[in-house]
Structure 1
Amino acid sequence: MSESILTVETDGPVATLTMNRPEKRNAMNDALLDALDAFFAAPPPGVRVAVLAGRGGHYCAGLDLSEHAERDAEATLLHSRGWHAALERVQLGGLPVVSAMAGAVIGGGLELATATHVRVADATARFQLPEGRRGIFVGGGASVRVGRILGPDRMTEMMLTGRSYGAEEGLSLGLAHYVVEEGAALAHAQELAHRIAGNAQLSNYIVIQALARIGDMSRGDGLFTESLATAIAQTSPDAREGLAAFLDKRAPRFR
């Protein structure tokens, strides 16, 4: 994995990944996508949570259009499917991922952010899907992930007009979960990451795996899957420890 395009720093159970293309506002090229995919395919031993940020005051300005212009229809189809595979690994690879968002969270950057589980925006964050204004269409999963957050009506308007939402608007729409002052997103994201790392790992894993899938199911299938997840989580050693710690009024000591 290239240290020049994606830096990884670990602090105990938390790894902070920083996209490092500041001259491009961290626009996503193939090398950066491959580096992210490689990390989530095989996280370092002991890492329980990842924080994802961008260098230079921007999270990610989306697809690097200089690469897009060189692809024909077949290559574009395969490239889109490559994005889908990589972002599935971010969302469902097993690690909770916290985004620290500033500046541009645009197009593919918003697709990446909505594949993460907790999103912290600073006051400079701007959310946009400008593809409709550029004669193209989303290809990294926005029609599913962003569409389910905003609803198809709002997403259609956003793509047709190229409208940009600020941090507080993004919070109200669900694109961000927290808004903090300018420059504070990374510290807050890391604080949340350490808190999440203190949870039982099995519980974190089931939350990540079950809820996204239940959202795709019928009501009956979802309720049955919830019961299965409950049976696994609540009969684990960590669940017994969590209950004992609550009754003893102490912090749990999970495996």
Structure 2
Amino acid sequence: MSTANQEPISYELDGEIAMIGLRRPEKRNAVSDRVVEALNLAIERAQDEAKAAVIFGEGTHFCAGLDLAEHMQKPLIGAVMGSRRWHRIFDGIERGAIPFAVALQGAVVGGGFELAAACHLRVADETAFFGLPEGQRGIFVGGGGSVRIARLIGAQRMGDMMLTGRTVSPVQMEVWGGVNYVVPAGTALDKAKELARLAAQNAPMSNYAILNALPRIRDMSSEDGLFTESLMSALASATPEANERLRAFLEKRTARLKAPDAE
């Protein structure tokens, strides 16, 4: 069945988790302006009614990046404004109110990698491969990759990928810091949902501080970062929910942490 006329983004609320799907499998989920705007609506909806979200791609690939056929038709100012639009929308993921997990399989290329980098928990299955072919296409990243991807894996590694067109395996990308988890083929979505559900159990103020204070502190001087940390720590601890959660822990009504390999 043709998917040409269907909505390019799917949205479903699974309990407290918003499931957001890229729905252009015939185009390897390439990102067009229509996709970006539909994604923006889904992100805003998720912030309003969910406690965490999962982004995934339908079909065998997560996202092959920018829709180049559409991009070629844009005037210079249109390309600049389109890039800035991506920045604002992806910022809504990275520095919003709820955590986003992303499930990655097949191509995670160009703008697809930029979208993944805006999420907080990145799960790649064994079929995933990462690429930044902008150098070979005569273009440059425009969805925030020069900031987000470079900070995840380092500017030198990102430059290598762009200059040479090399693709990187999920295992290597985990070593570099570009993904958080590598799982067997076909299981990335299940793992991403599991992680989103764990994050959804946290206090909303704690999640907000993690998503919004940590990246800002990274950009500050050490002294400014420590001062901001103190303020956020006090604010988070002052909420009624924090008081109840701390009391439950002290009264042994919640489980204590265990070593990763403990039964």
Please confirm whether the aligned pair reaches a TM-score higher than 0.5, indicating the same fold: yes
Instruction: Determine the structure 2 residue equivalent to 1:26.
Output: 29
Q: Which of 165, 188, 193 lines up with 1:190 in the alignment?
A: 193
- Residues in 2 aligned to 1:211 and 1:3: alpha-carbon distance in whole angstroms: 38
Amino acid at match of 2:107: A
- Contact 1:122 1:182 (C-alpha < 8 Å) held by counterparts: yes
- Residues in 1 aligned to 2:165 and 2:147: alpha-carbon distance in whole angstroms: 18
Aligned in 2, Cα 1:46/1:3: closer, same or farther, shift over 3 Å? Answer: farther
Residues 9-66 of structure 1, C-alpha deviations (whole Å, 9 max, x = no match): 1111101111000001101011111011112223375411000000001111100001
Instruction: Determine the structure 2 residue equivalent to 1:181.
Output: 184
Does 2:246 match 1:243? yes
- Contact 2:47 2:98 (C-alpha < 8 Å) held by counterparts: no
Identity %: 48
Residues 105-139 of structure 1, C-alpha deviations (whole Å, 9 max, x = no match): 10000100000000000000111111011111001
- Residues in 1 aligned to 2:183 and 2:254: alpha-carbon distance in whole angstroms: 28
- Residues in 1 aligned to 2:16 and 2:75: alpha-carbon distance in whole angstroms: 42
Does 2:151 match 1:151? no
- Residues in 1 aligned to 2:172 and 2:48: alpha-carbon distance in whole angstroms: 38
- The gaps in structure 1 that reach 5 residues or longer are none
1:157 positional shift: 0.9
- Residues in 2 aligned to 1:59 and 1:251: alpha-carbon distance in whole angstroms: 37
Does 2:131 match 1:128? yes
Instruction: Determine the structure 1 residue equivalent to 2:169.
Output: 166
- Residues in 2 aligned to 1:82 and 1:235: alpha-carbon distance in whole angstroms: 36
Q: TM-score, normalised by structure 2?
A: 0.92
Amino acid at match of 1:246: F
Superposition RMSD in Å: 1.4
Aligned in 2, Cα 1:93/1:44: closer, same or farther, shift over 3 Å? Answer: closer
Instruction: Determine the structure 2 residue equivalent to 1:111.
Output: 114
Does 2:31 match 1:15? no
Point out 4+ residue stretches in structure 1 off by more than 4 angstroms: none
- Residues in 1 aligned to 2:226 and 2:247: alpha-carbon distance in whole angstroms: 28
Q: TM-score, normalised by structure 1?
A: 0.95
Residues 183-216 of structure 1, C-alpha deviations (whole Å, 9 max, x = no match): 0000011011111111111110111010011111
Amino acid at match of 2:176: L
